[in-house]
Structure 1
Amino acid sequence: MATRKCGIPLSTISPKFLHANSTSHTWPFSAIAELIDNAYDPDVRARQIWIDWTRIRGLDCLSFMDNGEGLTRARLHKMLSFGFSEKKAVKFHIPVGVYGNGFKSGSMRLGKDAIVFTKTRDTMSVGLLSQSYLEAIGAQRVLVPMITFRRDGHNHMEDGASLRAILTHSLFSSERELFAELRAISAAGQTGTRIIIWNLRTTTNGDTEFDFDTDKYDILIRATISERSNGGLVMTPESEYSLRAYCSILYLKPRMQIIIRGQRVKSQLISKSLAHIAQDNYRPSFLNKRVRITFGYNTKSKEHYGIMMYHKNRLIKPYVKVSCQCKAERKGVGVIGVIECNFLQPTHNKQDFDDTDKYRKIMHNLSIKLEDYWNEIRYKRKKEDPNCTVAIEDVLKVPDQVWVQCDSCLKWRRLPDGITELPDKWFCSMNYDPQFRNCLVEEELEDEEEDQKSYPKPFKRQRRNTKSEFEENVPESTQTQDRPGLLSSNQAPRHPPASVLSGLSLAERSPLPLINLTAVASSLRRAKQTFFTIEQQTPSSLVPPLTAPQELSSQTHYWPALNKERKILAQSESDTLVNKAESEMMEGFESHQGPAAAEETCERDASSGTGRGYSPAVEEITELPLKNEKEGVEHHEGHVDDEEEEEEEEWNLIEVQQWQDELMELMHETAEERDLCRQELEVLREHSAALEDERNKLISRLERVEEEKTSLSALCDQLKSQLSELREQSQRGKEEKDDSSKLRTLRLNLSRLLVSFIPSLHLEHVDYNSDVIDTILIQVLEHIT
């Protein structure tokens, strides 16, 4: 019967739950990662963690030891319990653990039994989490024997039952052996934690799932050669079966050294170990800031590619192939993308993300971004070397940058490009750059911290402009089906020709997030003048029809004159519509400055299917020539030839559409510039807020220092007065001592004289500090006189 509290039964945990809970880890390295995360998190702050294989009493064991803060008895109890997680971020160190279940699920996935030795500055504790122990005693609930030793080596009296359980059901049968394991922690530091796991999980043939013999400095997952290769090509990434390779990319920016079987893991900054690195930005619709994406080529094997997805600095999904890399043409071969998805929720085992709408959107957009990068790199290579026939993924590559971690301070330093060999141990004092030759110097800024702009995309721009030119040059027979020579609204060119925007690039334009409304108004006026300049300059005679709209500027055309009434009516109506379009466009640009409009005109999720929108006023401008010419034909039927009318309408529509596309392109690029500036402004605001906080802290610290100075000054004055008093007392004591010495000498001399008058006077019995001699002298003088 469950224990009751206030009459309500308490929930209990069955021993079978230890195994059921561990099944969330289908991959053994994910269980090991849970134990590494516990040492990495800011509540432990270990600088090193040692992972090793050993044999105790003939059993294969895995051991984990760190030099962190250690665990008190209360924290050890929470670690052996379920659902207790009190981890908090410290500065920029964000904890990985969330659920308070990592140690239980991870250790029980690796083996049936685990024992924890931990050491703080005041206590030493031992805890046991064992399925074998619970089965042996037939427990109905999960029991965790725990003992705590004082520094003098004596355990608490109430831990007697736990001590007997640990010595009976663990690998250690005496207190001496327990203390030997606790002393082993001292080899790593004054404090720390040591975990030993035994009764490891085995395969169907009885072997452990780990291979400890193939590589004496690594821990491998047993697998056949055929499972890892295909036709001589290594198809499986090394991190899938090598613990050393997996730990080298486990953290986006490693802050802890991992030592596997006595040899340090060479951690790497995955975002810096690529070739042809490019930084791109992605801003989901559900976030108010951009997410940084790093693209580059794998320098080791082109067969290992995809997206490296991290969460709070921890690797969740490695080498995820997005849709463009899974197609038949194999786009993006060899390309790796690195992104930190702190806005997604990882699953319970931290090996995947919850399948939500946010996750599906980001995977779709990552596919688009990666394909853009792949096309840009190929375009750049083709432009640099048009005759090259070797694919870029087949070219031998080296990382663009060389970064190394100091073995003393664990800070990352950038080395000059071209360095390929480094010593086993590297320290800041060995740096080529004298500015960063000291461990006390902060790390240099990374590229994403220095520059928040995306890389240029000339291929994408050229493809857009080429598509626009192609649509402009489509034959008339394919442009419309209802009326020959007339462009329908959905077939009109969507982009201006390449020459329209061939001036300043986005990076060269003004970074201010303000749109030049005067320029927009001037563009509308020029469009309005273009509509009616042809009509005002054409004579009344007829000429043969044009073969192309471009020939209008090089040939002389004579259109039939329209009557005065039609011109006045068309001019009046056109002015009204153009003025209305100009007003609405100006209002649209002014409202575009607000944050709400910014989100709609900025870069969107491609999955949402949003495209470039057009203002109703601009649509009215597009329909203006059609409406005017239609009225002209109705009033002057027979004066204008049908073929010439169609050519006139077509030419006007093309001109209007070009101006419209130019304005919309300008609006889109200006919005991008504004968003970039807004992002920089947010960074500056955050930096300013940080500086303000630091300033307030310094002011409060200065006030405290002033108070301490005042109190010290008062204490100093008090000490000075006491010192002067002591000096005076010492001087008086010295004078009194001198007077006493003189008086004693005088009494001694008098006693010698008095002996001649009083022979029976014994000088050795006289106390010269008293007035005995003075009394005797007075008596002698009275007797003489």
Structure 2
Amino acid sequence: MTGFVMGDHFMEVVPMGEGCSETLFKLIKDKRIISCAACVNPPSQMPAVWDITSIVRKDKVRFLSTLPGFSIIPACEDSHQEKEWGQFLNFLQKHNRVAISNFGLFEFYILPPLEGSKSNLAIVRYKGTASRTSPAGAGVADSDQISAPTSQSQAGEVAMSISNLTQNKYSPEIHCAEVNGDYSCDLSAKASSQLGNYVETVKSFQRNYVTAHPSYLKTLGQAHSSWIFGAVAELVDNARDAKATKLEIAINKFYSKIACKEIPMLSLIDDGHGMNHADIQRMISFGHGQTEVDDPNHIGMYGIGFKTGTMRLGKDALVLTQTTNSRSIAFLSQSLNEGKDNLEIPIVSYRRVGPSMEVDTDVQNKDAAKLYLKIIKRYSPFDKYLIGEKVGIFGADGTGTQIYMWNLDEWGSDYSLQWETGIAGGSSFHQGGIFIRSKRTRCRPGQISLSVPLDYCLKSYLEVIFLNPRMKIYVQGALVRSRPLAKSLNKTTVENDTILGKPVQLTLGRSQLEWEQANCGIFLYWHGRLIEAYKRVGSMIHNGDCGRGIIGVADVTKIMDDGNGCVWVHSNKQGFQDCEAYAVLEQWLGEKANEYIDKYVDKIQLRKGNASAKPDHEWVQCDQCRKWRMLSTDFDSKTLPSQWFCYMKPYNGLCDTPEESISSGTITISTKRHGYNTKDPRNSFREREASRSEGISNYASDSEEDDVKVIVKRARARESHARSCKKN
């Protein structure tokens, strides 16, 4: 241990002899410290601060002799506290009074030494107040009489209940109460309160505890047990919600003094607006409610994404976050809490004072900050130099959030994630990446292809994770080139309809890349975030090769809103709940996919020279404004530089110009129909179609007609009727 500072001696329990121990705390009245004191043989872990809420006459609490108790002795830090302690005991003794310290459902009664005694020891009796109806923290003097336990059995139950306080008998709701300049987490139920924050050993301050057993961290990680990239997506969502313009994801080696070797550490660093103390306290806490308003520009809903994501990826996570006027460090760790009965999450917060950051004494005292920093240094690869290095990433006035995870999830004798470091300045073939080691494809009805890079390559997943990508994402130092699916299809068609009274738009087309990989299906987005990929619908389910290369894109945000502030999306954001809206949506998607296949796929076109299905238009994204620009048909996209801006060829425009929408080359099959019967979702969509646009009839006479010949239609399963095949 380097150097001795005030508070260091609180790190260990000081024995008083065989079978005896003491625990220090601060005794305060009206937010002023009387003295530090020690509990001699307390029945359980004691709160770090005792606030005297009232002082009453001893004859008003006649039942004290029936209550269990223990002793407290002074542990004064200076002569002033020695004087205050003596005056405090003299006052109680002279006026025959009892000091009461109230902790919600429990009260401590501090009795003075016997008359004539020169001892500085005081006796403490304690009882539960479960029958009280006054608010937590109210003084005992508010009532004229206090009922005593009616029997020894009841007194024993009171003693047992206070002991059980250290065994996670809490409600997950969190309240904060100010005590002597500190904000302590009072983890209590609305109808019941407990002793507040606890110290396992002797401390002179309160510690941030949450009402959960440490094993709950492992349970949280199971939300993404089937697909680890779902955990990464949770943290990417948080960066997007923070309005970040840049996100860096990487796995690098760091030396661990605990393991005595280098270990891999996964990091996500963004330049968003960061979090203040209240924000990060909410992020790491448990049990707070979901947002009441369904904000279409916000992905986070349930308040558990950070915890489920980090605990799936690794056992330990450290967060550095900075706003314009604050900085915080939080440590969510399974290693720190191993073997404990209650979960502890250290948080150290700073506030800007002039050009520098100082400990924010409005939310913690300096002793707490020092101890938590020591804990972080002890249980993580971070020392003061590494912390300083990472803080330097923010810059003097920068903002953002950095998340570091280590003790990564394991796959046999290795890690679940596999990573490659790219060559600086190398070609796209020499860029690094992060992969799922098993490289297994996810299970989807009707899927036969084993080549689904999105399932095991992080870059491939991040290319399509957002419907309208705006944030630059780097993986192992290489920029992820976003792929706007709806703008990269061949023979694109757009369907507009109303389902259960809510509008929906589906873009369908053919993708050469997906045809080569034998993939197809619908990509469903919610709040602009990919929820389901390659969802096979209609005849795609019954025939593995039917619809090969056909891709659909739909944003179902409005459909998946139940109208009462809730959404039909799983909390892990990897699927939709089983509900009427989803069932009707599936049927509608199947009908439209079948119609597209009937018109354009069953007539197989064999092109000369193995010509590929090029997109109707090629697009490029500006690295400044992040808008997509349509390239002219005669421009070769392969000649574009690695960094492209709106002023460059062939666009030669301004970033202020609005982004183009899909228009030229798009065939609109149908528009919104008012005759849709929302009460009968099984009605045939074909019977309700009014007409098709004239563009369909001209489709077969496009410029490529000379290069194709029409052969017999491919037989496939039909949902509505069987079709016989005749030999030519």
TM bucket normalised to smaller: 0.5 to 0.7
The one-letter code sitting in structure 1 at the alignment partner of 2:248 is W
Contact 2:315 2:335 in 1 (8 A): yes
Q: Which amino acid aligns with 1:172?
A: F
Aligned residues: 455
CA contact (8 A) 1:53 1:62 kept: yes
Q: Comparing both structures, which one devotes a greater share of its residues to helix?
A: 1
Tell me the equivalent position of 1:108. 311
Q: 534, 549, 556: which one pairs with 1:319?
A: 534
CA offset at residue 377 of structure 1?
Answer: 1.2
Residue type of the alignment partner of 1:107: T
Q: Is 1:197–2:405 an aligned residue pair?
A: yes
Aligned to 1:16: 215
Distance in 2, Cα, partners of 1:444 & 1:328: 36
- In the TM superposition, 1:420-459 aligns within 5 A as 420-421=637-638, 422-434=640-652, 437-447=653-663, 454-455=668-669
1:140 corresponds to which residue? 342
The runs of at least 4 aligned residues of structure 1 exceeding 4 Å deviation read 2-7, 83-90, 224-228, 388-392, 603-607
Query: Match for residue 706 of structure 1?
Result: none
Q: CA deviation at 1:39?
A: 0.6
How many Å separate the matches in 2 of 1:395 and 1:113?
A: 51
Q: Is the alpha carbon distance of 1:166 and 1:93 closer, same or farther for their aligned partners in structure 2, counting shifts above 3 Å?
A: same
Q: Is the 8 A contact 1:65 1:192 kept in 2?
A: yes
Distance of 1:225 and 1:37 partners within structure 2: 24
Residues 278-357 of structure 1: pairs in structure 2 closer than 5 A: 278-284=493-499, 286-287=500-501, 289-302=502-515, 303-328=518-543, 330-342=545-557, 343-344=559-560, 345-357=568-580
Question: Is it true that 1:272 corresponds to 2:487 in the alignment?
Answer: yes
Partner of 1:53: 251
State the partner residue of 1:168.
378
Q: Distance in 1 between matches of 2:348 and 2:439?
A: 42
1:181 maps to what in 2?
Answer: 390
1:93 shift after superposition: 6.2
Q: Is the 8 A contact 2:440 2:456 kept in 1?
A: no
1:359 Cα deviation after fit: 1.2
- Find the aligned partners of 2:411 and 2:420 in 1 and give their Cα distance: 16
Partner of 1:688: none
Q: How does 1:14-163 map to 2 (within 5 A)?
A: 14-25=213-224, 26-41=226-241, 44-57=242-255, 58-84=262-288, 94-135=297-338, 138-148=340-350, 150=352, 151-156=355-360, 157=366, 158-163=368-373
What is the rounded CA distance, in whole Å, between the counterparts of 1:69 and 1:207 in structure 2? 36
Q: 1: distance between equivalents of 2:544 and 2:486? A: 26
State the shift of 1:244 in Å: 0.4
The equivalent residue for 1:210 is 417
Task: Give the stretch that moved more between structures: 410-419 or 125-134.
Answer: 410-419
CA distance in 2, matches of 1:33, 1:374: 33
CA drift of 1:86 comes to 8.1
Deviation sequence 1:542-587 (CA, Å, 0-9, x none): xxxxxxxxxxxxxxxxxxxxxxxxxxxxxxxxxxxxxxxxxxxxxx
Determine the structure 1 residue equivalent to 2:135.
none
Partner AA of 1:420 in structure 2? S
Alignment match, 2:726: none
1:556-571 correspondence to structure 2 within 5 Å: none
- Residue 612 of structure 2 aligns to a residue whose secondary structure is coil
- Does the residue aligned with 2:420 lie in a helix, a strand or coil? coil
> Could you say what secondary structure the match of 1:56 adopts?
strand
Distance change in 2, residues 1:610/1:254 (3 Å): closer
Structure exhibiting the larger radius of gyration computed from Cα positions: 1
CA 1:243–1:85 in structure 2 vs 1: closer, same or farther (change >3 Å)?
farther
What per-residue deviation string (whole Å, max 9, x for no partner) do you get for residues 380-405 of structure 1?
x67xxxxx65699x851111111211
Q: Distance in 2 between matches of 1:7 and 1:281?
A: 51
CA–CA separation in structure 2 for the residues paired with 1:226 and 1:83 = 34
Tell me the amino acid that sits aligned with residue 320 of structure 2.
F
Letter in 1 for 2:298: P
CA 1:234–1:365: 2 relative to 1, 3 Å:
closer
Q: What is the SS of the residue equivalent to 1:291?
A: strand
CA distance in 1, matches of 2:690, 2:283: 54
Q: CA deviation at 1:327?
A: 2.0
Aligned residue for 1:557? none
TM-aligned CA distance change 1:432 to 1:420, over 3 Å: closer
Tell me which residue corresponds to 1:560: none
Letter in 2 for 1:71: M
Give the deviation of 1:603 after TM superposition.
Answer: 7.2
SS in 2 for 1:36: helix
The AA in structure 2 aligned to 1:178 is I
Residue 142 of structure 1 deviates from its aligned partner by 4.1
Task: Please list the CA deviations of residues 675-724 of structure 1 after superposition, one character each: whole Å capped at 9, or x if unmatched.
Answer: xxxxxxxxxxxxxxxxxxxxxxxxxxxxxxxxxxxxxxxxxxxxxxxxxx
Separation (CA, whole Å) in 2 of partners of 1:6 and 1:607: 44
Structure 2 counterpart of 1:126, one-letter code: I
Write the letter of the residue equivalent to 1:401: H
Alignment of 1:363-762 (within 5 A): 363-378=586-601, 396-418=612-634, 419-421=636-638, 422-434=640-652, 437-447=653-663, 454-455=668-669, 599=674, 601-602=675-676, 607-609=681-683, 669=690
User: 2:549 and 2:189 mapped to 1: Cα distance?
Assistant: 61
Residue-by-residue CA offset, 1:410-458 (whole Å, 9 max, x unaligned): 1221111353312110101114244xx112222234439x99x8327xx
Tell me the distance in 2 between the aligned counterparts of 1:18 and 1:276.
48
Equivalent residue for 1:628?
A: none
2:464 is the alignment partner of 1:249? yes
Matches of 1:611 and 1:60, distance apart in 2: 54
Among the aligned pairs, what percent are the same residue? 29
Task: Show the counterpart of 1:502.
Answer: none
Secondary structure of the structure 2 residue equivalent to 1:455: strand
Deviation at 1:83, TM superposition (A): 4.8
Q: Is the 8 A contact 2:588 2:685 kept in 1?
A: no
The one-letter code of the counterpart of 2:657 is: V
Q: Distance in 1 between matches of 2:544 and 2:436?
A: 33
CA shift, 1:170, in A, is 1.8
Report the Cα offset of residue 12 of structure 1: 2.2
Does the residue aligned with 1:454 lie in a helix, a strand or coil? strand
Q: Is the 8 A contact 2:441 2:452 kept in 1?
A: no
How big is the shift at 1:291? 1.0
The alignment's TM-score, normalised by the length of structure 2, stands at 0.57
| Mapped partners of 1:423, 1:305: distance in 2 | 31
Asked if structure 1 preserves the Cα contact closer than 8 Å seen for 2:487 and 2:662, the reply is: no
Alpha-carbon distance change, 226 to 153 in structure 1, aligned in 2, over 3 angstroms: closer
- SS state at 2:469 partner: coil
- Report the CA distance shift for 1:606/1:455 in structure 2 as closer, same or farther (over 3 A): farther
In structure 1, the partner of 2:110 is none
Give the structure-1-normalised TM-score: 0.53
Equivalent residue for 2:583? 360
Equivalence for 1:519: none
Name the aligned partner's letter for residue 366 of structure 1: L
Q: CA deviation at 1:63?
A: 0.5
Asked whether the equivalents of residues 421 and 432 of structure 2 are also in contact (C-alpha less than 8 Å), the reply is no
Distance 1:224 1:260, change over 3 A: closer
More contact order relative to length (CA 8 Å, sep ≥ 6)? 2
Q: CA deviation at 1:227?
A: 10
What do you get for the CA RMSD once the two structures are aligned? 3.5
